[in-house]
């Protein structure tokens, strides 16, 4: 099926099941321990051996020698894999890092060996016997120092244009009556997901099966086949449950490659998990940025010129952090410029992390908007509303498909009682606490991509959906079940959903906020074909048949759905593909974040008191799972604002705080009551369900809203994240 014209009324619009806040269908399996994550697939590989990864002890240089004699002779050891016996290895199409070092070392904790043994303890002990001698060389580990050598990155399939412009930015900015020129920095951040990167690999002849924790099954098949130089047809990937990804498990990483190599050498299944320390330095992270934002405005608050530049670093072949993305489309202004620059750094690879581009970009842009509002003497909400636009500001002939940004701002201000915000910073005090409020806009793209599904109907009226879509904790099982139930006119408990297997039809996968809208559209397409088959089997006109309460109805006739499959199971499969609507319309999700904080006037300690997100993200398929995604994003945004930062040892080139003790993330005690509100909207240009993604909108803008609230409370403006008390304590009001 091809989606080429805006959706009209269709069976989803009945909203008998879709749009209801139903519980997650896989929830009972999760809470009872019966959901089988990658490392727990014991039944499929009962004889699995254990692999232990040896990470490089330097960040830049070469392996002078590696002696595995003692390790090979150790008790229980089955194999030791290094670059000398791994065979030629390529890289996948998405990540730039090599899975196995040798002889060159590209970054600290890059894998240099895998030791496979009968037990985990034996593998770990033998790994300590691998004797490696290095030749260290000078590396680049400091973004500020490397900034002057940064260059325009190449534009690739996953990267935005390195530069954009409209009008005459430099001249218009110089002539603007009111100007702001500010520089911000965001640190390296870790995904810090609960489930580590983990894989079980098993060979059967030339065919490889991986049970692994991965977001994009189709990318994983492509990339492991490319890395090992085997046909894609010989690869199967299974990933039914994932304990968090946040972009860090987009496709295969070293755990999958090394498990595959270990299983080949040991001639039996091998399971590998990255040690927690290696998750920070071996896998990917969100790279640090230095950002400069310039805004020129008229005295009545209209933006005349807006420019955003961002510098980030990466390994050879890595992509930039696209921090300028939100500035390209969020606010009006005739004269515009964005510029990305990429420096070479010998740190672990920087790559996608929840809302790549928008999350760090808005950490700068939305503070700048607050600073500009203050210069103009305008309320921050009013200033943002005054610069709304209903067309793409880079391409005014391209309207937004649906843009309720102003409505988000106004509703949020009303619900949060914004009128009580102190007009002057550091003017509201409750005992020893300084209290303030902050606001920030939210924006995130609403992409959709090709996605397929297979739907089965059996003689009992049970509907089974199969697609290789993954569920990384977002509720994919549930919204896919709701889609199928709505389309086939059955109750939710009459639908079974099977996900995360490359033997199923290829879906969009989880990432980029495209998963929900894309995967459900694929299920919709398959259900349309199944409805046609069912109606024909029952002697009804497919165009007029209604599927309601387990019955197929038309012209006074009502026939049980199950009767169509009385003689044999009915199976249909289809793919949703897309035409040119995304080119005709600017498709985005919008929101507004409001925060109240209290800051200890003596110590500078920060307490979050209230947080509100108002979101406009198309049809909300399940308000309960959508709210869960948004408040999860808000929590991650709070971490980015107040505590999360990978500390770089700039002498030796590694992230020092590479575990969950040293890398701080928010816990329940850190977070206040979180409120998430969704505007009623359905975007017919996106897909037949008229839904958009929402999981990354929840983080976009949150950190800046917190920073703005801290300024309102204290009068102290911090432009370098995270905002820790040492950046406040000597600047607080007397």
Active site residues: 696
Phi, psi (deg, nearest 5) at residue 173: -65, -45
Q: SS3 string of 50-81?
A: EEEEEECCCCCEEEEEEECHHHHHCCCEEEEE
Return d(Cα 612, Cα 595) in angstroms, integer. 7
Of residues 705, 697, 701, 696, the one with CA closest to residue 610: 705
Helices and strands in the chain, H and E counts: 17, 32
The closest of 238, 168, 167 to 202, measured between CA atoms, is 238
Q: Pick from 487, 673, 681, 537: which is nearest to 594 by CA?
A: 673
540 alpha carbon, distance to own chain's centre: 44
Distance CA 540, CA 532 (A): 9
Length of the chain: 734
Token pair listed for 38: 């990658």
For residues 595 and 709, the answer to whether their CB atoms sit within 8 Å is yes
Residues 359, 291: contact at Cβ < 8 Å?
Answer: no
The two tokens of residue 566 are 């009385």
Decide if 399 contacts 393 (C-beta within 8 A). Answer: no
Which sign does the torsion angle of CA 563, 569, 570, 575 carry?
A: positive
Q: What does the alpha-carbon distance between residue 509 and residue 245 come to, in Å, rounded to a whole number? A: 12
Q: Is there a contact between 188 and 656 (Cβ–Cβ < 8 Å)? A: no
Q: Which residue has the tokens 């949020």?
A: 412
Beta strands 588-600 and 433-445 are: antiparallel
3-state secondary structure 336-368: EEEEEEEEECCCCCECCCCCCCHHHHHHHHHHH
Cβ atoms of 676 and 627 within 8 Å: the answer is yes
Residue tagged 């409805």 (tokens): 531
Q: What residues contact 659, with CB distance under 8 A and at least 6 apart?
A: 276, 277, 280
DSSP assigned state of 288: P
What is the spatial distance between Cα 670 and Cα 638, in angstroms, rounded to a whole number?
Answer: 9
Distance CA 704, CA 326 (A): 13
Which H/E stretch holds residue 574? strand 570-578
Beta bridge partners of 337: 165, 307
**What CA–CA distance (Å, rounded) separates 470 from 394?**
35
The helix or strand, by DSSP H or E, that contains position 237, with its residue range, turns out to be: strand 235-238
Q: For residue 650, count other CB atoms closer than 10 A to its CB.
A: 15
Q: Which residues pair with 546 in a beta bridge?
A: 553
Extract long-range pairs of 37-41: CB within 8 Å, 24+ residues apart: 37/195, 37/198, 37/213, 37/241, 37/242, 37/243, 38/195, 38/198, 38/199, 38/200, 38/211, 38/212, 38/213, 38/239, 38/242, 39/196, 39/198, 39/200, 39/271, 39/273, 41/200, 41/211, 41/238
Q: Residues with Cβ < 8 Å from 117, sequence gap 6 or more? A: 49, 50, 52, 74, 75, 76, 77, 78, 123, 126
């Amino acid at each position: 099926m091809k989606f080429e014209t805006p959706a009209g009324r269709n069976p989803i619009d009945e909203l008998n099941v879709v749009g209801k806040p139903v519980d997650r269908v896989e929830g009972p399996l999760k809470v009872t321990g019966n959901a089988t994550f990658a490392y727990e697939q014991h039944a499929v590989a009962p004889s699995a051996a254990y692999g232990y990864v040896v990470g490089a002890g330097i960040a830049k240089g070469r392996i002078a020698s590696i002696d595995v004699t003692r390790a090979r002779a150790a008790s229980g050891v089955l194999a030791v894999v290094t670059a000398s016996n791994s065979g030629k290895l390529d890289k996948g199409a998405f990540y730039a890092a090599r899975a196995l070092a040798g002889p060159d070392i590209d970054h600290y904790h890059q894998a240099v060996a895998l030791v496979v043994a009968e037990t985990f303890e034996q593998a770990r002990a033998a790994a300590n016997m691998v004797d490696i001698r290095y030749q260290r060389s000078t590396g680049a580990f400091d973004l500020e120092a490397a900034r002057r050598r940064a260059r325009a990155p190449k534009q690739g399939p996953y990267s935005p244009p390195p530069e954009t412009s409209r009008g005459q930015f430099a001249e218009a900015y110089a002539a603007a009556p009111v100007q702001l020129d500010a520089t911000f920095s965001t640190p390296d951040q870790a995904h810090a997901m609960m489930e580590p990167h983990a894989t079980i690999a098993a060979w059967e002849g030339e065919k490889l099966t991986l049970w692994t924790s991965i977001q994009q099954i189709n990318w994983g098949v492509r990339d492991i086949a490319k890395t090992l130089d085997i046909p894609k047809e010989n690869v199967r990937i299974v990933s039914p449950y994932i304990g968090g990804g946040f972009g860090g498990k987009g496709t295969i990483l070293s755990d999958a490659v090394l498990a595959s190599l270990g299983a080949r050498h040991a001639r039996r299944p091998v399971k590998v998990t990255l040690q927690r320390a290696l998750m920070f330095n071996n896998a990917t992270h969100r790279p640090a940025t230095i950002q400069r934002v310039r805004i020129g405005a008229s005295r009545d608050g209209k933006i005349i010129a807006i420019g955003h530049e961002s510098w980030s670093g990466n390994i050879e072949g890595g992509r930039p952090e696209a921090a300028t993305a939100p500035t390209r489309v969020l606010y009006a202004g005739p004269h515009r410029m964005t510029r990305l620059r990429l420096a070479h750094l010998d740190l672990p690879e920087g790559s996608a992390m929840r809302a790549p581009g928008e999350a760090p970009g808005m950490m700068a842009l939305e503070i700048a908007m607050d600073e500009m509002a203050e210069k103009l003497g305008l309320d921050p909400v009013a200033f943002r509303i005054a610069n709304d636009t209903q067309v793409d500001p880079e391409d005014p002939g391209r309207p937004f498909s649906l843009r309720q940004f102003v409505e988000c701002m106004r509703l949020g201000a009303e619900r949060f009682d914004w009128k009580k915000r102190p007009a002057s910073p550091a003017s509201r005090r409750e005992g020893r606490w300084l209290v303030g409020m902050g606001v920030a806009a939210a924006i995130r793209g609403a992409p959709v991509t090709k996605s397929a599904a297979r739907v089965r109907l059996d003689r009992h009226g049970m509907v089974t959906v199969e697609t290789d879509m993954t569920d990384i904790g977002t509720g994919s099982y549930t919204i896919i079940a709701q889609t199928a139930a709505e389309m086939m006119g059955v109750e939710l408990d009459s639908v079974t959903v099977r996900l995360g297997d490359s033997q199923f039809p290829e879906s969009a996968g989880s990432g980029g906020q495209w998963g929900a809208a894309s995967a459900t559209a694929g299920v919709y397409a398959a259900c349309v074909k199944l409805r046609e088959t069912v109606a024909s089997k029952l002697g009804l006109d497919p165009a007029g048949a209604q599927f309601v309460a387990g019955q197929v109805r038309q012209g006074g006739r009502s026939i049980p759905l199950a009767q169509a499959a009385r003689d044999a199971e009915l199976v249909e499969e289809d793919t949703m593909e897309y035409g040119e609507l995304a080119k005709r319309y600017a498709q985005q999700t919008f929101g507004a974040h409001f925060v109240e904080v209290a800051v200890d006037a003596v110590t500078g300690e920060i307490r979050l008191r209230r947080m509100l997100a108002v979101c406009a993200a198309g049809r909300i398929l399940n308000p309960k799972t959508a709210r869960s995604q948004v408040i999860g994003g808000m929590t991650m945004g709070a971490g980015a604002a107040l505590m999360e930062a990978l500390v770089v040892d700039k002498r030796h080139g590694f992230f020092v705080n590479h575990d969950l003790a040293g890398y701080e993330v928010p816990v329940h005690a850190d977070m206040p009551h979180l409120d998430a509100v969704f505007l009623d909207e359905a975007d017919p240009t996106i897909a037949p369900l008229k839904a958009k993604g929402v999981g990354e909108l929840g983080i976009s803008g949150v950190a800046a809203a917190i920073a703005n609230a801290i300024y309102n409370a204290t009068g102290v403006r911090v432009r370098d994240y995270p905002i820790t008390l040492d950046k406040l304590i000597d600047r607080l009001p007397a």
